[in-house]
Chain A
Amino acid sequence: MNPRVPGASSLAHPDRSDLARWQFVGLVGSVVVASAVAGYLSARGQLEPTGGAASGALVALLAMVGLTSLSIVSLSRTLLFVATAMMVRFGFIGSADALRSQVVLVWVVAAISVLVLSQYIARQKFSSLDDSLDDSKATSRRLSPLQTARTIAAISAIVIVLSLILGPILTPRLAQSTSTGNDAEFPTAENAGRSLQSSESIDMTSRPKLDDTVVLSVDSDRATFWRGETFDTWDGRIWSRSDPAITAVGSDGGVNISQEDIGAFGDDVLRQRVTVEAAFSNVVYAAPSPVSIDIERPVGQRSDGTLVSAPLGEGSSYTVISRRTPLSAQRLREAETGETPEEILAKYAQPAIMTQRVRELAPTIVEGASTRYDQILAIEQWMGERVEYSLDAPLAPKDADVVDHFLFEAEQGWCEQIASSLVVLARANAIPARLVTGYVPGERDPLTGRWIVRAKQAHAWAEVWFPELGWVPFDPTADVPLAGSESSQTPLLAWILDHLVLIVLVGVASGLIIGPVRIWWRKRKDHRSKAARNLEWAARIDQRLIAIGQRWAIPRAASQTATAHSQDLARAIGDPRLETVGLAVDDYLYTQVPMLVEPAHLEAILAEIELIEIPEASAVP
């Protein structure tokens, strides 16, 4: 039995016989991790990702440890290739789950570890040049675990950094604008939370059940709200749509833009590639105002400019081009001069159903605001001072007006009540407004730059119509303070947990790279200071010789070496040991001859000489 590798026997493949324990553990561990990642990403159906990871790890471990008659080098590379192929072909490599994207980084490091370690082990079958020497004469550096780890860290860092730079460059060139994805799973009671289903109405009297499930991922240059649907009819409890008609979008993907959607003629263009991460979606989410869409399903549009599609499953993607008019506060204030079309006023500016006190309240809020924009700001500010945001706010009682209950009774609510209140109050002041539902931008994936949108990031906001600008979004929820903490985790802690793998990888890589740099720097400093100290010693001795010479009226000539000067001193003073001092100084400074005399001994000689009293004739006057 080979004591170096556990379980090695005479039947083991030769490349296992001379394996160091750390090499064996490192290689097996790397293969196991790579296989676990492949299993994690490939798990489908009944098998959870963690189960997939465990299965992959177990298979790899059994193969690496059990199949001893096979070359460990070939086996590890084969397993890595199989794991990679599985991951690419069957794995759901998605940026939707931040952990998945970071798990890919772990796979990169594991794969490089397998390649480096197997390469080093493969080389061991060749005899070393050192083997021809006695151990005492062998001078080459043996590859240590730390050296190997540093090599792995350096290569992993290069690969990860360059691939992160290359990936976003390649994505717009190589990524397809659409994909079919999986078949849509029609919404049921169980998967309702994972479905993005179009609805004809929104009931403000029911509490939403939202979780962390990722529903969308968006590849976009900038963050924006991803609009889904709009509603224009309010009955005090439910928002609905006055015009439910849907017309098909042409095969060229061009959206039929209505005249009221002035933003669709704007100069600011945004291209978004949206991937459906939910099990079902028939709403096309995009930044307003979509002007064209590339999708592999039939798509229709409503009169409000929003889009709906045939059912899309998980992994489906589409690309939307949106346009908007660049906005600024000044431009919004100046837009007062234009006229609002009658159709807009009739549909969106008529006072909604509201209670008397809400109707009386509305003009008082905007008193003093001279422009539509300032009126909206005034409403937002008023709500920010009066109400609070809470997902646990009490629901409006049966038959109660939701806006009235929110503003006067509960004074707490979530985005739906807040946005509804803004729309109702705006309409009470004859300002065209409508309710919009969709999603906030979400979190940006550190690897791909995509926006990851979760179910809990569903949002409602308002759009107000401005002359010459069209529909302008307002999010009154941003001005409303939180009623209480919604998460037990601080934002920093949540960020750390989301990026834990990345932090660990960066930390390990930094340590492996920074450590040797620090050691090298310290050695360089020590070497320099040591050299400087040594030179200081020689210079100090030399200075003392010169001082003795001056004292004895035998100054050193400019062209004289320490040896020659010390010989003169030795003759004059009568102490031949001085020659030794001068010779030692010159030898140390100018030759490679090793020191035969201790500096302390030389200094002792000089100390004795310095104590000798100078005869009167020799003294320096």
Chain B
Amino acid sequence: MTVGSRGERPGSNRLTPAGGLIVAVVVGGLYLSSAASDRAMVLVVWAAALVALVVGVVWPLVAIRGVQIAASSPRDATVGDEVQIEVSATGAMAVYEIRVLDPPGTWVRVDGPTTGFVSHLADTRGVFEFIRFEVRVSAPVGLYEARRIISLALPVPVEVAPRPLSVEWMAAGAPVEMGELALGRGSNGGEVVRSVRPYVVGDPAHLVHWPSTARSTTLVVRELDPPAPIGQAIVLDLRNLGEDCESGAAYALGATYAVLAAGGEVVLCTAESAGPVSARVRSRLGANRRIARAVVGEPGVAPPNWPVVEIGR
């Protein structure tokens, strides 16, 4: 597969090797003709080569103006993964090649109006609203390549998260509000008996406190203290990380995953383009998107009394 590894500059029109040969014929042909040849006929042949060269140059330059493409992509991606970009090629232009840029991908052939998928390597973290394609037309005679860079706005911006680093997290208590925990955990966590109460339909059988039940004539159950909430506030400050920005982001994401995997609550404090953000993250997807949007800037402030991990400070 051809990749932009030859050092070719995207978007620049160029003569193909065959075109270069035709130029050589056009430039040198008149002087190399046989002395016995009829000059008038040699000029006809020369004129044919010249016209073929002109047609070979003009046709792609005109045809490339008729290329119309539209693209859409999934919302989420991870650095290093191949993202399938859906490309819809319309327009009257019959044959051309396209490839995604940033980074330059492999050329894909388009033979008329069609729709398909093009793989694109997500190599950079961030939120991308535009995608650039390079279009190349050299048909029909392959003497000249007309190229054009098309920048398309994606219907939904792509949020590319870093690849998380593997992080171990020591659980720490966090002052999470009870109501939130009750919604999240139920009331059957914890081991400390706080009191007894009458049985309610649905209480687990193992919580029945038989001694109290025997003394009273009603079924009573133990009421346990809710478990101590665990969580972590993670502050990601990219201002001073320099080249280690992405490593820092990857660590932050890894840490978030670790907390979520342990059942803890996570507050991510980052800087986004709109300003500092400090908000709860409830899922890996959410974490991906938050880290994807993180930019260099003053991050949000961690909530009070939360265990805080500061990355970049």
Contact = CB atoms under 8 A, between A and B. Distances in A.
Partners in one complex: yes
Interface of A: 77, 81, 84-85, 87-96, 100-101, 104, 107-108, 111-112, 115-116, 118-120, 122-133, 137-143, 151, 155, 158-160, 162-164, 166-167, 170-171, 174-176, 179-182, 217, 219, 275, 314-315, 317, 447-448, 450
B47 A162 contact: yes
Interface string B27-58: 00110111111111111111111111001100
Interface stretch (B6-14, B103-111, B174-182, B303-311): B103-111
A160 B52 CA distance: 9
Given A155-B140, A174-B30, A95 B111 contact: no
Contacts, number: 207
A120 B35 CA distance: 37
Contact of A85 (B25, B117, B142): B25
Contacts of A94: 36-38, 41
Query: Considering the complex of A and B, which 6 residue pairs feature the smallest CB-CB distances, nearest first?
Result: A119-B142, A140-B114, A315-B36, A129-B116, A141-B112, A163-B47
A128 B39 contact: no
Nearest to B119: A132
A179 B35 contact: yes
B115 A133 contact: yes
A112 B30 CA distance: 20
Nearest to B98: A129
Given A125-B2, A151-B140, 19 more contacts: A77-B17, A88-B42, A93-B34, A94-B38, A94-B41, A95-B40, A115-B143, A116-B141, A126-B107, A128-B111, A132-B84, A140-B112, A159-B55, A162-B47, A163-B51, A174-B39, A175-B40, A217-B38, A448-B38
Contacts of B141: 112, 115-116, 119, 155
28 contacts: A90-B34, A92-B36, A93-B45, A94-B41, A107-B45, A111-B52, A115-B56, A116-B140, A116-B142, A119-B139, A131-B116, A133-B114, A141-B112, A141-B113, A143-B111, A160-B48, A162-B47, A166-B51, A171-B39, A171-B43, A174-B39, A174-B43, A176-B39, A181-B36, A315-B34, A315-B37, A317-B39, A448-B41
Contacts of A179: 35, 39
Interface residues of B, number: 57
A133 B176 CA distance: 49
Interface in B88-124: 89, 94-95, 97-98, 106-118
A175 B43 contact: yes
B295 to A, nearest CB: 34
Most chain A CB neighbours (cut-off 10 Å) among B35, B46, B50, B141 = B141
Contact of B108 (A128, A166, A217, A450): A128
A175 B55 CA distance: 24
B172 interface: no
A115 to B, nearest CB: 4
Given A132-B116, A171-B40, A77 B51 contact: no
Contact of A88 (B39, B45, B84, B98): B45
Nearest to A131: B116
B272 to A, nearest CB: 34
Contact of B97 (A111, A126, A182): A126
B40 A163 contact: no
A366 B264 CA distance: 132
B18 A77 contact: yes
A104 B35 contact: no
Most chain A CB neighbours (cut-off 10 Å) among B84, B89, B108 = B108
B21 interface: yes
A118 B30 contact: no
Most chain A CB neighbours (cut-off 10 Å) among B21, B33, B38, B141 = B38
B112 A159 contact: no
B211 to A, nearest CB: 69
B138 interface: yes
A447 B40 CA distance: 10
A176 B117 CA distance: 58
Contacts of B25: 81, 84-85, 88
